[in-house]
A and B are shown apart, each in its own frame.
Chain A
Amino acid sequence: MSTEVQAEAGEHAAPAPRRHRTSRRTREALVGYLFLVPSLVIFGAFFFYPFGRLIWLGLHQQNRTGTATRWVGIEQYGEVLGGEEFSQGLWHSVQYLIYTVPLGLVLGLLLAVAAHRRLKGIKIFQTIFASTVASSVAVASVIFFVLINPQVGKFGRVSWLDLENPDSALFAVSLSSVWQNLGLTFIIVLAGLQAIPDEIIEASILDGFGPVRRFFRVTVPLIAPTLLFLVVVLSIFALQAFAQIDILTQGGPAGSTETLVFKIFNLQQPAKQPIGSILAVGLFGVTMIVSLGQFMILERRVHYGN
């Protein structure tokens, strides 16, 4: 060691440690913020700022060009959320949820249970069942257009799939969602089934449980968290449905497929933006209530392992 270093060390000895520690911590914090900045900028500009803006817009009226706004106050929320437009859109969205979630979940479970076994070539079936994950909402809509379009679809004349009848149109559209989400549902349920230890199933066989009892008493409780997750995800998908309607019915017939998002999408002209904004805030509230509600109701019945 050179004398130079020695001298330096002597100088440093007493006060240096504290200064060093703080500076290192400051440096670490700076790096932390620096790394967060890109994400936070995007979140600020395209998540939080617009949400604040929606709320603000809902308190105002706008002219046709969007150049002038006038304060109208919180009453506008009451009017819109209590009005026809919102309740109708919400009802269609909820209907869509009721059509798609239980059916999609049951079919996905059926596929997963069928494909969860040791057979030669089972991978091929698993790949087929998962394949609809490759389709987008738009692709799925076109594929169902082939089947249920009134003019050219193979089943366009089947009464309960009739896109031109207000009573059946929304259900017919919902089938494309059920089909499109099948792949995702299947993949997730199958992963849930595969996560069940073999020993538990074998123990239940030794306990003399038959296949049906085993399924409801052992398998379903064990994959309940997975199913709960799917219920939430599929419900949120349903509440956000737009492309299917945009492609298959454009909201018709007679507005019977105008879901909340479809209405929001069509309220973008400046004069209508305040209404659209309030519907969007309503959609936000409904989405929160649905996902929180499902958690609270279902969580008590769900078996969560340790």
Chain B
Amino acid sequence: MAIDTHAPRLDETGRHRRLRLRRRGSARWSGRPGVRARWAKNAGWYIFLTALSLLVLYPIWMTIVRAISTPLPYIDEGQPLWWVRPQWDIFWRAFTLGDMGRAFFISAIMTTVIVVAQVLTSVLAAYAFAFLEFPLKRLMFVVVIATLMLPIEVTLIANVKTIREVAWLGVDSIQSLSAPFLATAFGIFLIRQGFMGVPKDLRDAATLDGFGHMGFLWRVAVPVARPIIASFIVVSFLSAWNQYTWPRAVTETSSWNTVQIALREVSTTRVDQLNIGFAAAIVAALPILAILIIFQRHLIRGLTAGAVKG
């Protein structure tokens, strides 16, 4: 009984020490019993984290294995965790065979057009909302917010109709692939937020320096809000490249497929050629993966904008 009543208090002091330990760093304390316990606890976390990582990565790994392996022998061997009769050139072939290379090209151009246009339209609109006074400003802002409730899935039918009707847009064209995405409320909000962080004094200084609106916008506001604009570019790139529903609906001939649409072919391909589709999926994800790793900070800031209070 006596031990029982003491137990919680011991536990508490134990926690106290852990707190201190974390602050001071481990080196000075190595050799003490508490540290060994902590190490054991850390090992537990490492095992748990590794298990979770394997769970997350397993589908990707299986796709890589399937892409590299020769399809029929792989299935014959019961779909092992390792590749069977690897074909290392498969990634290159996925890129060069059939329409895939062209699809990459179309995706790249479409994405570039969308990202550049979104940055331009959003920067201009954000500038108007952040720095200028004009009648009906609030109403205009409400109009921008309202677009958030009209995703492409809702307006799909009517937008496809518009594209089919307006001749100069052309059905199979970069214009038609990108037209509905040339402006975005998300970009306007995000960049406006960045602009509102530009100190008022800086604006006044620019006025005294003789910069007009264009001068202030490009020489001061945009460079100062650069981190947020960079975040927006990363997110914009990500969503443009990964687009599916709209290009699938508006494209009429398969030679105008984007990468994402070209991937759909997988579900209709013969079993002995599936590896090409799988390899294509991996290659299609690579640009985004590269971006994720290089621009991790920007991506995270862009994705979490609005989510975490503030």
Contacts and interface: CB of A to CB of B under 8 A. Distances in A.
Interface of A: 25, 28-29, 31-33, 35-36, 38-43, 45-51, 53-54, 57, 66, 110-111, 114-115, 117-119, 122, 125, 127-139, 141-147, 149, 151-152, 154, 179, 182, 184, 187-188, 191-192, 195, 202, 205-206, 208, 225-226, 229-230, 233, 236, 240, 242-243, 246-248, 250, 261, 264-265, 267-268, 273, 276-277, 280-281, 283-284, 287-288, 304-305
B40 interface: no
A184 B304 CA distance: 9
A304 B288 CA distance: 34
Contacts of A115: 49
B144 interface: yes
A35 B127 contact: yes
B75 A152 contact: yes
A77 to B, nearest CB: 15
A139 to B, nearest CB: 5
B45 interface: yes
B162 A50 contact: yes
B61 to A, nearest CB: 10
B97 interface: no
Contacts of A208: 8, 12
B303 A143 contact: no
Contacts of B73: none
A15 to B, nearest CB: 24
Contact of A230 (B71, B144, B156, B307): B307
Given A51-B154, A179-B59, A268-B157, A136 B149 contact: no
B241 A136 contact: yes
B271 interface: yes
Contact of A146 (B63, B143, B299): B63
Interface stretch (B85-93, B132-140, B196-204, B223-231): B132-140
Given A33-B134, A265-B249, A280 B156 contact: yes
Nearest to B59: A143
A184 B239 CA distance: 13
Contacts of A141: 263
Given A48-B143, A205-B19, 13 more contacts: A28-B132, A51-B158, A53-B158, A57-B158, A114-B45, A133-B238, A138-B261, A142-B281, A143-B59, A206-B16, A264-B157, A273-B161, A288-B149
B213 interface: yes
B162 A45 contact: yes
B154 A280 contact: yes
Nearest 7 A/B pairs, CB to CB: A50-B158, A136-B242, A29-B134, A32-B134, A42-B183, A46-B180, A142-B281
Contact of B63 (A142, A225, A276): A142
A201 to B, nearest CB: 10
Contacts of B29: none
B264 A246 contact: yes
A212 B121 CA distance: 48
Given A51-B154, A54-B155, A119-B45, A143 B292 contact: no
User: Taking each of B161, B162, B299, which has the highest tally of chain A beta carbons within 10 Å of its own beta carbon?
Assistant: B161
Interface string B140-172: 100110110111011111111110000000000
A207 B227 CA distance: 40
A67 to B, nearest CB: 12
Contacts of A130: 292, 296, 300
Interface in B14-70: 15-16, 19, 22, 42, 45-46, 48-50, 52-53, 56-57, 59-60, 62-63, 66
A47 B303 CA distance: 23
